[in-house]
Structures are given as C-alpha cells and as structure tokens.
Amino acid sequence: MSLRLGDTAPDFIQDSTEGKIQFHDWIGDHWAVLYSHPADFTPVCTTELGRTAKLSEAFAARNTKVIALSIDPVEAHHKWMSDIEETQGQAVDFPIIADHDRRVAELYDLIHPNAGTTGTVRAVFIIDPAKKIRATITYPASTGRNFAEILRVIDSLQLTDSHSVATPADWEQGDECVILPSIKSEEELKALFPKGWKELKPYLRTTPQPNR
C-alpha cells in the first residue's frame, strides 16, 4: 500500500509496550509521529529512542505524541527499553508497537524488498489531528534520523496551517517566512501581515514570522 501526503493514516489495533493501541483513538486531538525501526537491540535505533525520550517536552509543547514500531514482540521491547535507559541515560516514556505479525508494516509499506526483506525501513510519518499524513521521511537502516528536522517540519506544518505563509529553505522558528503567491491585494497583505513585508519578486515576498 503506497501512502501519499493527504491520505488518512491507516488505523490499526496492535500490541505495544503500553498495552493494545487503537491508533486513531491513541492520537486523539494531537499531532502524532509514527516511526519505524528495523529491529530491537540495534545500535542506531537505540540512540534514536533515547533521543526521542530526551525530547519528550519538545514534542509535548507541539501537542505531538510519538510512537515507535518494531517487528519484535513486546517482551523484547521491554528488555530493549532497559538497555536504552542504561546506555542513553533516559527512560523510554512513549509506546513501542510490537508489530510481530507485520500488520502495521504492511499497512504503511515499511518493508522495502530492495533494501531488505525482513526488517522495516527507518520511516517517519507526521500525522495531524484529523489523522491525515502531512509529511513522510524515509531513511536507510544505516542512517539515524535527525530529530531537529522532525521538530522543524512539525513547526512548519503547524505555522503554515494557521497563517498564509510557507517556510523557505533552512527555515527555523523565528526566521522570516514567505507569503503565499495567492495573496494578491494590498489590503489583504496589510491585514494579514501588519509587521510588513519585502518584495524581492512579485512571487517572492518575505515577512517576519506571523506568530512571533
């Protein structure tokens, strides 16, 4: 199943380290990050789960819940969580799905045969409260994720959902944004962007971040 931006994230019921989870109910009115791991007791994944736990306050500040997935069983997850706390200095405080029958892996197309026939790829799905997939990032098993980038994408999505702007290359919180080309009239520009704007080209106008 090939999932595209704007698709409804497939719902599922699956075991996890926090009991059975019905995914859409678990998301509730939050944003969510679902991210997959090739297997338990692997070095890159161990660092990733530790890093996620250290960022729990950053995700919570963005009304975002995080859930991880591996095809190993719950018992293995709990043993692995002890290793993560010991080596990364942080207890895992979010659920890890035990996708032992690969039900979720199939729903989200997480096994890519040309990369590997058993473990899942290192995928990220950013999902909004309406349960729509808003962004996806896929890494090979050998490359750990950049969690600053995942947070940056969430910041951009939440900002651009509520203001008529887009975020330019390398944008971070507090940087200038670009005004949507669909905003044409001077009156509308003044109403939407009271801090002013700069016109570099008719289609390229910058403005201070509206919610800062």
Are 178 and 168 in contact by the 8 Å Cβ rule? The answer is yes
DSSP, res 87 = H
Q: Is the pLDDT of residue 39 over 90?
A: no
**Active-site annotation, residues:** 45
Are 39 and 71 in contact by the 8 Å Cβ rule? The answer is yes
Rounded Cα–Cα distance for residues 92 and 116 (Å): 27
**Residue (of 189, 193, 191) closest to 209 by Cα position:** 193
Domains contained in the chain, CATH given? 13-145 (3.40.30.10), 163-207 (3.30.1020.10)
Q: Is 0.75 surpassed by the pTM of this model? A: yes
Are 139 and 125 in contact by the 8 Å Cβ rule? The answer is no
Rounded Cα–Cα distance for residues 194 and 196 (Å): 5
Please give the pLDDT value at position 112. 59
Pairing of strands 31-36, 64-70: parallel
Tell me, letter by letter, the H, E, C secondary structure of 133-172. Answer: EEEEEEECCCCCCCHHHHHHHHHHHHHHHHCCEECCCCCC
pLDDT exceeding 90 applies to what percent of the chain?
83
Please give the pLDDT value at position 111. 74
pLDDT interval class at 118 (50, 70, 90): low
Q: Is the pLDDT of residue 120 over 80?
A: no
Joined tokens for residue 183:
């905003």
Please give the pLDDT value at position 109. 85
